[in-house]
Amino acid sequence: MTTTLCRSALTPLTNIVTLLPALALSLLCNVATAQTGAATATDQSAPGVAILVPTSNTRGGFLGRIEVRNFIAEMNSRLGIPTSELELALGSVTAIPQVIDLIKPPANPGIRSWQRYRGRFLDHARIEGGRRFLADNATTLKAAEEQFGVPKEIIVSIIGVETVYGRNTGNFNTVAALATLAFDYPPRADLFRRELESLFLLAHERDVNALDFKGSYAGAIGLPQFLPSSVRAFAVDFDHDGVIDLRNSPADAIGSVASYLAQNGWRKGGRVTLRADVKPGADVSTLLAAGLLPSFSPAALSQAGVSSGAGNQTAEETAALIDLVTPGEATEYWLGLQNFYVITRYNRSSFYAMAVNDLAEALKGLPESTGTGGNKKHERTVRKPHARVVHPRP
């Protein structure tokens, strides 16, 4: 423990201090301590006795900060998580500057390009890897499709886009990453404090050490890259082994992705997108400004100069107008239906949702295995009963 001697800071005041009561000494000590860069006095002693004061970088840096102490106190009083658990975790890690660098928007973001973005995810690694993942998990995917109503290709595509089927799940300590963002990144501090809270709830409920969680620089966990709040709300034990393990169990990842989409409104058998035809000269700025929520009827779209191409939007289907811009090329326009909107609940980006949809379409044309029923050697058994929601394993 790094300490500072308050006594040395008071040397010029010795004659005065000896005339003051103990309370006044404590106040003077706190002032002197602040001037020397130390934190809070741990002992208020009589004159002439050295007082040990922890500096701000004691025990990893976080515990010496007032906002962290307030966070711990609030978690304890509101949620009943023992202070000792929180102090152990936050006192064992330090801030990770790299996390801030990675999450900051680029200083020069450049021009958005749909084709460039699409190319990052519809590559050989994800298409060939998706074929293998479909084969290795055929029975599990069928069970998830039957239970949640989400096509297996959509489930696999999301896992492929997120982590290349578990290849890139991240190796940041999740407590350290979330604490860094919660207390050192003001633009999104509220979000990451909520996620840090959810992480401690996960650890407390599962009776595991919060420090055992590993994930992305943003605190996302496992094959599907769930933030801790999503783990608690949507993750399921789909291999029925009594724990949710999104990092090591493809079955749990598959069931959890399907659960997430189903609970966010996925329509079984529904389409994701329709090609949109925009009349030359039509002003679609109002439609685009409305965002991703599918709120326009065929009549409203037609009045604005937009119609569906092959496939035809039914009278019951509302849609959002989606523009996919590539510099130097004609803008692609699509109608995003309810299931497209649901994918954007996973990541609030039209580019992301369309990449997931396109990868899923690419996977539809691939053989699932060289035999029948997938690769049983690598697939974990999935029973038919509904998945149980239990506490996750780090």
Any residues with CB less than 8 A from the CB of 143 and at least 6 apart, and which? 238, 255, 382, 384
Q: Per-residue confidence at 106, pLDDT binned at 50, 70, 90?
A: confident
Q: Per-residue confidence at 109, pLDDT binned at 50, 70, 90?
A: confident
**Positions marked catalytic:** 162
pLDDT at 385 over 70: no
8 located within any domain: yes
> 257 and 141 in contact (C-beta within 8 Å)?
no
pLDDT in tens, 117-157: 999 999 999 999 999 999 999 999 999 999 999 999 999 99
261 located within any domain: no
Q: Residue 40 phi/psi, 5° resolution?
A: -100, 140
36 located within any domain: yes
Q: What is the pTM of this model?
A: 0.79
Specify the pLDDT at position 110: 82
381 vs 242 pLDDT, higher one: 242
Q: Per-residue confidence at 227, pLDDT binned at 50, 70, 90?
A: very high
For residue 62, count CB atoms less than 10 angstroms from its CB and return exposed for 0-12, middle for 13-18, buried for 19 or more: buried
Q: Tell me the DSSP string of 312-370.
A: ---TT--BEEEEE--TTSPPEEEEE-HHHHHHHHHSS-HHHHHHHHHHHHHHHTS-S-S
pLDDT in tens, 233-286: 999 999 999 999 999 999 999 999 999 999 999 999 999 999 999 999 999 999
271 located within any domain: no
pLDDT at 186 over 70: yes
pLDDT at 27 over 80: no
Q: Identify the CA nearest to 52 among candidates 101, 84, 19, 7.
A: 7
Cα separation of the two ends of the chain: 30
Specify the pLDDT at position 367: 54
249 located within any domain: no
Using DSSP bridges, classify how beta strands 172-173 and 214-215 pair: parallel, antiparallel or unpaired. Answer: antiparallel
385 vs 68 pLDDT, higher one: 68
Compute the average pLDDT of residues 297-308: 94
Look-up of token digits 């990842």: 253
- Average pLDDT for the chain: 83
Residue 48 Rama label (left phi>0; alpha psi -120 to 50; beta) = left
The domain tally of the chain equals: 1
Q: Which has the minimum average pLDDT: 180-189, 307-316, 321-330?
A: 307-316
Q: What does the alpha-carbon distance between residue 152 and residue 145 come to, in Å, rounded to a whole number?
A: 6
Compute the average pLDDT of residues 298-324: 90
> 238 and 252 in contact (C-beta within 8 Å)?
yes
The Cα-based distances of 282 to 285, 293, 307 in angstroms read 9, 21, 11
For residue 304, give the DSSP letter.
T
37 located within any domain: yes
Q: Tell me the DSSP string of 118-149.
A: HHHHSSHHHHHHHHHHHHHTHHHHHHHHHHH-
Q: What does the alpha-carbon distance between residue 337 and residue 351 come to, in Å, rounded to a whole number?
A: 15
Specify the pLDDT at position 297: 95
Specify the pLDDT at position 111: 87
248 located within any domain: no
Residues of the domain holding 51: 3-55
Q: Per-residue confidence at 56, pLDDT binned at 50, 70, 90?
A: very low
Any residues with CB less than 8 A from the CB of 74 and at least 6 apart, and which? none
pLDDT at 345 over 50: yes
Specify the pLDDT at position 315: 82
Q: Which has the minimum average pLDDT: 63-67, 345-349, 378-382?
A: 378-382
41 located within any domain: yes
pLDDT at 289 over 80: yes
Q: Per-residue confidence at 323, pLDDT binned at 50, 70, 90?
A: very high
